[in-house]
Chains A and B, each alone.
Chain A
Amino acid sequence: MTDTLASYSLLAVYSAMAIYAGAFIMFTLDLARRSAPAPARLGASSVVSLGARGGSTTLLERLATDAPSDSQPKGPRYLRVAMALTVVAWVLHVSGAVLRGVAAGRVPWANMFEFTLTATAIIIGVFLAVQFWQDLRFLGAFVSGFVLLALGIAATNFYVDVVPLPPALQSAWLVIHVFVASLGTGFFALGAALSVMQLLQARRAVGKAVRLRFLDTLPAADQLENLAYRVIVVGFVFWTFTLIAGAIWAAHAWGRYWGWDTKEVWTFIIWTIFAGYIHARATRGWRGSRSATLAIIGFGAVVFNFTIVNLFFKGLHAYSGL
């Protein structure tokens, strides 16, 4: 029974990956489409202008870019198809995670394969949910590409059979700590994507030849920075909570709330980098590209913490199951 469900789960995951691949292509085509000359669209971002001193986020209107009233009929179609594919893939993806959980009789995030499965589902979930607040579909290629890659690596390299939880993992904190960490990761991922775009825009603004025409259709660097900031601070709150919940759990399971275990160290490093990011954005001379770089380094550290630290570093958090 367990094995049957686990194989259905895997089937759902592979199907989701195939559809994400389609979505990724569509998102990329959309970016390519944006690269075609589109004079009519220019000026959209100048509607929203930020004063020199107005670092304090003054996003005056919802971003006007990509308004559906677009005059190019072919344009957003790619985007709409891409979004639809993403939603379908996501539903399969979530079912895959749920089936895995049912197969194991517990939450589906107790080893690296399961954690990747769930965390990537949450990343897409955050990406989809954020659209209700702000049109960030232009990040689709980045997000779907990242998730596709992560799922592929997980399914081929991290896959393990369903096994019961070792006693140290049998705790409500497994549910809370890991879930919130994944949520935080989702927001940090979007923040990093926005920061990459921001850096590209900033380079272009100072006249560096960035031959990516699609940038014309994206918000300006300072708007991207504000968006990134708002996404990242949400991630930061989740990460702070993860850190504290982890300490509480460690106090229960290992008898001390903090012991500089490798995983604890890296969680702390990440937290510090993003605290640095928040300060950088508030510091004269550090706003803009420098703080964006910190956001990208921070997300890099998140990925590093999950992959390299899990696989190659020694520590108490030896739960990869590999």
Chain B
Amino acid sequence: MSRPSNETDSTDAAAPDSTRPQGHFDAPETITQPKLSPLGYLRFFWRQLTSMRTALLLLLLLALAAIPGSLVPQVSSDPNGVIQYKAANPTLAPILDKLGFFTTYYSVWFSAIYLLLFISLIGCVVPRTKHHFDALRARPPKTPARLERLEGFTTRETSLDLATAIGRARALLRTLGYRTEIYSSTDTVGDSVSAERGYLRETGNLVFHVALIGVLITVGIGGGFGYTGQRVVVEGYAFNNSLASYDSFNPGRFFTDAALEPYSIALDKFTPVYEESNHNAIGQAIDYTAAVTTTQRGQAPQQQTIKVNSPLDIGGTQVFLLGNGYAPTLTVRDPSGTVVFSQPTACLPQDANLSSICVIKVPDGLSKQIGMLGFFYPSAVNTTKGGLASNYPDLINPILTLNVYTGDLGLDNGVGSNAYALNTDSLTQVAGIDSVTKAIRLGPGDKVDLPNGLGSIELTAIPRFASFDVHHDPSQLWVLIFAVFIVAGLVTSLFIPRRRVWMKAVTGESGLVLEYAGLSRGDDPGLVAAVAEIADRQSQQAKA
């Protein structure tokens, strides 16, 4: 019942499989001594690179190399985290930075590993594909001389004559999906059927590996044509799909302005739904809906909605709803009552109840430039420490407090260009904890004088804002298609058995005896049962 040992009757059929890469347990063991020519070394190196062992080591190395990127924050996914990490670890961070740990997945070493792996993969797949094409056209291998050394060896007596027995065996095997060939042994003509099936297994394996290459190439190249842009939009306002309109923009390597299809999106209304009944989760967001009006060239405006998990498809892009918050509208007047500033300012949410930080800059129109650092509480309550906090994300008791600063905001020299930050180092606080005048406190519609006779400020309205991510990624569909091939190839290659089966007629004491045996190629737990079933079916056919 054991597998054939190779020294005795090593026929083609039972020989190791030459289509397997070097180092595969089923491949012939070759000892390659490099010839001392440069070409010889090159060839030796190539064979090493495309061997099973190298593929395995590179795979494990890839797993190992991916780990650092999960331990320290990454520039790509968490830029603020990187800044914090560097501040917290002043000695370690520069070393990690040098090693590329903050950009693990774009680092030289990580790239080197996966590029080598994929070169190895290509070097492995190409010859295997060629072998497989040949195998698909080749005839099933010659019947081994002694079947009893193969797997699942079994015999059945029969009363049929040789030609009928062979013919029926062949017909049966063919209906079972085997490719068949009739062979003769030294003493009898046409006394055995050789059959092979499961070529799809190797096909699946090749499809799987090729699809992996496909994913890498489409991600690497296709991704370069894409772009992503982020934009905060306040209710009642709109933005265009143009470079100038985005708050931040990340073009791919091959991006050109032509890739931006012109359209505009206006945020009409943003509607959150908060949990009200489940006492464990009062105030937890359960739904967000952005009602928008989209306008595309040559088309009538359209009303649509964008939700988390259901982006809007428009102009070759997808528009995602990622964040939201409040954008209090402040109206600043000079001492004569002329409006010098009136617009909403998006405030950055700090917690689930949307306590937010607002930065307002009024560079023009007053006697001095003023900057304001605000804290906004949609549902303000007094804390035990005497401060304010928000205890619900909706507008139940909105309060905006403002620290006011005067001085040079630095907008002209670009220092103060980050809209969400106010550098107070060179500014003078005129209202707030550090100054004589207390911080300004505004409810909806409240109007208060600014200190030092600067003018007045009014909280005119509290609209919401939504932040949108706009993505254009031409590789996405292709990646998905290759992913489907990956799964299909994998399933085919893992679960379709590839096997060879032989039936041989020998003359026994009382007539013809049919011998059956099989050989598995790859993981094939069902082989023995399959051989027995073939034998049984044939003897039943003969009786019927």
Chain A interface (Cβ within 8 Å of chain B)?
2, 49-61, 161-168, 170-171, 226, 229-230, 233, 236-237, 240-241, 244, 247-248, 251-262, 265-266, 268-269, 272-273, 275-276, 279-280, 282-287, 294, 309, 313-316
CB-based nearest A residue for B479: A257
Cβ of B300 within 8 Å of any chain A Cβ, yes or no, is: no
CB-based nearest B residue for A245: B483
Cβ of B171 within 8 Å of any chain A Cβ, yes or no, is: no
Contact B309 A167 (CB under 8 A): yes
Chain B interface (Cβ within 8 Å of chain A)?
1-6, 16, 20, 23-27, 29, 52-53, 55-56, 59-60, 62-63, 66-67, 69-71, 73-74, 76-78, 81, 104-105, 151-152, 219, 228, 275, 278, 280-281, 284-288, 307-311, 318, 320, 322, 469, 471, 473, 476, 479-480, 483, 486-487, 490-491, 494, 520-525, 527-528
Contact B487 A269 (CB under 8 A): no
Q: Using Cβ atoms and an 8 Å threshold, which residues of chain B touch A261?
A: 77
Can you offer 7 A-B residue contacts whose CB atoms are under 8 A?
A: A167-B307, A230-B525, A247-B483, A252-B309, A255-B311, A256-B471, A260-B74
Contact B281 A164 (CB under 8 A): yes
Q: Using Cβ atoms and an 8 Å threshold, which residues of chain B touch A49?
A: 1-2
Q: Using Cβ atoms and an 8 Å threshold, which residues of chain B touch A166?
A: 284-286
Q: Using Cβ atoms and an 8 Å threshold, which residues of chain A touch B20?
A: 282
Q: Using Cβ atoms and an 8 Å threshold, which residues of chain B touch A56?
A: 26, 520-524
Contact B74 A279 (CB under 8 A): no
- Give the Cβ gap from A94 to chain B, nearest Cβ, in Å: 24
Contact B523 A57 (CB under 8 A): yes
- Give the Cβ gap from B13 to chain A, nearest Cβ, in Å: 13
- Give the Cβ gap from A245 to chain B, nearest Cβ, in Å: 10
Q: Using Cβ atoms and an 8 Å threshold, which residues of chain B touch A226?
A: 523, 525
Contact B523 A230 (CB under 8 A): yes
Contact A255 B70 (CB under 8 A): no
Contact B278 A167 (CB under 8 A): no
CB < 8 Å neighbour of A163 from B27, B151, B281, B486: B281
Contact B3 A51 (CB under 8 A): yes
By Cβ-Cβ distance, the 7 closest A-B pairs, closest first, are A51-B3, A163-B281, A54-B3, A255-B320, A161-B280, A167-B308, A272-B63
The docked-state distance in angstroms from the alpha carbon of A287 to that of B26 is 11
- Give the Cβ gap from B355 to chain A, nearest Cβ, in Å: 18
Q: Using Cβ atoms and an 8 Å threshold, which residues of chain B touch A316?
A: 77
- Give the Cβ gap from B266 to chain A, nearest Cβ, in Å: 20
Contact A272 B59 (CB under 8 A): yes
The docked-state distance in angstroms from the alpha carbon of A105 to that of B6 is 63
CB < 8 Å neighbour of A59 from B288, B308, B310, B525: B525
CB-based nearest A residue for B275: A164
Contact A168 B63 (CB under 8 A): no
A309 touching B70 in the complex, CB below 8 Å, given contacts A255-B318, A279-B55: yes
Contact A58 B307 (CB under 8 A): no
- Give the Cβ gap from B543 to chain A, nearest Cβ, in Å: 26
A283 touching B56 in the complex, CB below 8 Å, given contacts A56-B521, A57-B525, A170-B309: yes
Contact B527 A58 (CB under 8 A): yes
Contact A284 B24 (CB under 8 A): yes
Contact A284 B479 (CB under 8 A): no
Other 4 A-B pairs with CB < 8 A, given A53-B4, A167-B286, A237-B494: A253-B308, A259-B77, A284-B24, A309-B70
Contact B56 A276 (CB under 8 A): yes
Q: Using Cβ atoms and an 8 Å threshold, which residues of chain A touch B219?
A: 258
Contact A282 B25 (CB under 8 A): yes
The docked-state distance in angstroms from the alpha carbon of A52 to that of B228 is 57
Q: Using Cβ atoms and an 8 Å threshold, which residues of chain A touch B67?
A: 265, 269
Q: Using Cβ atoms and an 8 Å threshold, which residues of chain B touch A165?
A: 286
A168 touching B309 in the complex, CB below 8 Å, given contacts A163-B281, A260-B74, A284-B24: yes
Contact A50 B480 (CB under 8 A): no
Contact A53 B3 (CB under 8 A): yes
Contact B55 A237 (CB under 8 A): no
- Give the Cβ gap from A294 to chain B, nearest Cβ, in Å: 8
Contact B3 A266 (CB under 8 A): no
Contact A272 B308 (CB under 8 A): no
Contact A276 B59 (CB under 8 A): yes
CB < 8 Å neighbour of A252 from B63, B310, B480: B310
Q: Using Cβ atoms and an 8 Å threshold, which residues of chain B touch A241?
A: 487
The docked-state distance in angstroms from the alpha carbon of A258 to that of B486 is 17
The docked-state distance in angstroms from the alpha carbon of A224 to that of B524 is 15
- Give the Cβ gap from B222 to chain A, nearest Cβ, in Å: 12
* Max count, chain B CB within 10 A of own CB: residue among A54, A229, A316: A54
The docked-state distance in angstroms from the alpha carbon of A241 to that of B157 is 49
CB-based nearest B residue for A248: B480
CB < 8 Å neighbour of A60 from B1, B24, B287, B311: B1
CB-based nearest A residue for B519: A56
CB < 8 Å neighbour of A167 from B70, B77, B285: B285
